[in-house]
Structure 1
Amino acid sequence: MSETQRPEDVVREERAQLDFSRDMSYGDYLQLDAILSAQKPLSPAHDEMLFIVQHQTSELWMKLMLHELHAAMAHIARDELAPAFKMLARVSRIMEQLVHAWDVLATMTPPEYSALRPYLAKSSGFQSHQYRCIEFAMGNKNAAMLQPHAHHPDRAATVRAAYEAPSLYDEALRLLARRGLPVPASHTERDWTRPYEASDAVEQAWLQVYRDPQAHWDLYQLGEELTDLEDTFRLWRFRHVTTVERVIGFKRGTGGTGGVSYLRKMLDVVLFPEIWRLRTAL
């Protein structure tokens, strides 16, 4: 307070600085009224709030993952690897957040989940259209996975677009081919809706990169970014299956899947097979 300011003037000035009625506030910018009113438990169970918040926050992280994945794929398609590396590294860090989120859900015991499960009807994380888009963008294409979204035309169209588009790995292999590496046309001009099949020729192309990193430094770094990404994705799947087994045992999932048995099959899916296989040959 200056010597000429009266105490009441100082109070008035401080109040003016804290008056956000005329400007955009933190809550306005983040749309917090909409976000924080979106938790609507259906059961009397105390733990349903945890269940809802866990899945809503996961969907927000997945939204950011798709934002970064799509941008990274576009950059790779334009041979702009530096920004793609930053985006792929961010996706890996987001996946780490999703891995640790299971630690919170794992605090829910079987009786606590049983108290709310009847209220879920057939709703299941299996039906997450954003997760399906991530799986498709990562190359795990499966036409049967379109059906769970058929009841919602807008979501179904989004999932189908991801299903029909080249995956992240497809874009990486097309980049290798543009750089003169011997990636066969069967893996650069194929039906993008077909599940990816590993190729000895593709492995040899990646081996050229890994045997001479100095000559192919950015492609070598791309290979390691993909390795990081699949590494964290595997951890997410593992924490998912162990958390589900801890909470519901071997009951069938609410969405109709086999629950733990279905999730364990997903542990065997390899997204970028040649990048993992080449390590044995080096």
Structure 2
Amino acid sequence: MKHDHSPVLPGSGATDYARYMRTDTLLGLQRSPGEVIHRDELLFQVVHQSAELWLKLAAAELAEATARVAAGELLVAEALLVRAALAVQLITSEMEMLRYLSPVDFQAIQPALGKGSGAESPGWRQVQVASRQLGRAFDAQLAHRGVAAADLRPVDLSEPLHRLAEAMVEWDERVSLWRVRHYQVALRIGGHPPAGTPGSPANMLAKLAGHRFFPELWQARTQTTTDE
């Protein structure tokens, strides 16, 4: 008996996998061999385009976590934050691919980038907005429960509010590690002078590495260490 593997989904593509995943469009988003000015543009684009997809997912998880926090569903929000943090961990790991891009090669690619900068990443901007919204929802939940952020010490992790606070710290840390890796890559392949050098683009990257979305939760952990 012959099996009919012809696609049943609408859209372009020879198979249902291609149609659902939109692989024709996805794989056509990179510059073609006739357009590139350096072969490593493919490496550079794949790393950054895949990062945009993971950031899109992370922002969606954060948005849903925010809604769950507002509804008092803290354990569900925690699970969503864990997923968002893993997405950022993955884009941090994939930056290892850029270790194979030399400063000379990167300089050859730069004309193709125009004035583009990672600071213009739409995925990163969505993540920033979503993180701030999560922080506001969390603060509202604390106020509703009559709990101060300073009391959220990682002692009793059976309590959903404490577990969520830990997940938020984990998210903050994963974002910070990503920024640190970005900074190191900028030094390694971008040829930027290190932070502290006047006019170096690395100055802003180094400054952002210390930023926290939820500083009060970090302060609570510091207070715990001090008290003990």
Question: Residue deviations 1:121-165, cap 9 Å, x none?
Answer: 1122211122112122223xxxxxxxxxxxxxxxxxxxxxxxxxx
Paired residues for 1:102-113 under 5 Å: 102-113=95-106
Question: Residue deviations 1:87-122, cap 9 Å, x none?
Answer: 100001111101101101221111111111112111
The answer to whether the aligner puts 1:273 opposite 2:215 as a matched pair is yes
Cα offset for 1:208? 2.8
Q: How far, CA to CA, are the matches of 2:155 and 2:23 in structure 1? A: 51
Cα offset for 1:43? 2.8
Cα offset for 1:240? 0.3
Count of residues in Structure 1 that have an aligned counterpart in Structure 2:
211
Q: How far, CA to CA, are the matches of 2:46 and 2:7 in structure 1? A: 31
The answer to whether the aligner puts 1:259 opposite 2:225 as a matched pair is no
Whether the 8 Å CA contact 1:241–1:260 is kept in 2: the answer is yes
Question: Residue deviations 1:207-250, cap 9 Å, x none?
Answer: 33438737x81110011001111111111000000001100122
The answer to whether the aligner puts 1:208 opposite 2:151 as a matched pair is yes
Could you state the TM-score of these two structures normalised by the residue count of structure 2? Answer: 0.86
Could you state the TM-score of these two structures normalised by the residue count of structure 1? Answer: 0.70
Q: Gaps (5+ residues) in structure 1? A: 1-12, 140-166, 182-204, 252-256
| Alignment correspondent of 2:23 | 32
Paired residues for 1:13-32 under 5 Å: 13=1, 16-17=2-3, 19-24=4-9, 25-32=16-23
Q: Evaluate the alpha carbon distance shift between residue 178 and residue 106 of structure 1 in structure 2; reply closer, same or farther with a 3 A threshold.
A: same
Report the RMSD for the aligned CA atoms in angstroms: 1.9
State the percentage of identical aligned residues.
Answer: 30
Q: Evaluate the alpha carbon distance shift between residue 98 and residue 179 of structure 1 in structure 2; reply closer, same or farther with a 3 A threshold.
A: same
Paired residues for 1:115-126 under 5 Å: 115-126=108-119
* Counterpart pick for 1:131 among 124, 139, 142: 124
Q: Which of these two proteins has the greater Rg computed from alpha carbons? A: 1
Whether the 8 Å CA contact 1:249–1:260 is kept in 2: the answer is no
Paired residues for 1:188-199 under 5 Å: none
The answer to whether the aligner puts 1:220 opposite 2:186 as a matched pair is no
| Alignment correspondent of 2:47 | 54
Q: Gaps (5+ residues) in structure 2? A: 10-15, 194-198
Cα offset for 1:265? 1.2
2:211 partner amino acid: V
* Counterpart pick for 2:56 among 49, 58, 63: 63
Q: How far, CA to CA, are the matches of 2:121 and 2:52 in structure 1? A: 8
Q: How far, CA to CA, are the matches of 2:94 and 2:155 in structure 1? A: 39
